[in-house]
Structure 1
């Protein structure tokens, strides 16, 4: 499996600096719901410290964790694609510190600087491809493990 891609370290220095000019430092206490599936996706975060669980509601009373994100990870990509709604929910598993970015401001910067826009979209695509690979691996492990007697 390939190593996880970190958004800010994957961008060239000048593009990273331009993007960070739009960042706001935020924090979320442990157990804070950051966003809910189906909500409006108008921002994203790069986690500086702590852990966030991405989850999916599977029944009215049950959620499952589909991924855990930590320092350097991108939290939220739905701001980049219509219909601009979160596909999963996210909750702070521990105290979280992060850089928060306004999606509209970042998209405007991408129009102004097409090379930054291309780098950003390419990096987000690589992150999503890596997460899909990890999920596929987990599913394969789950369904190829020998079953015990009935």
Structure 2
């Protein structure tokens, strides 16, 4: 049975290195992000991202995020694989997806699988949802 979890998160840290590749207006940058989750997931995470910026602004990123916390009363860790971007630099064409990496769950979250999304709210906040199963 699939369960939906949802909530918000705060970005506690955003440590970007200088672009490691820059050519014809396209920049690639490594970023380390720290978050605090609220809602059906209470905890924190560390994320390693590679971002792509073009003349239109932020264009895409990929990343791996280790989440530590309590999800619907179950404590453990799991890893999220990020895939995100937009077509033209505007929020209207943005997509921000997560995939729970199979076999990455530990503790009471062992066997977790699923996928989710991040939504950037008009005020710049972040909400999230994940549809998951526990095996």
* TM-score (normalised: structure 1): 0.23
The structure where helix makes up a greater share of residues is: 1
The structure where strand makes up a greater share of residues is: 2
Using CA pairs below 8 Å that are at least 6 residues apart, which structure has the higher relative contact order?
1
Larger radius of gyration: 1
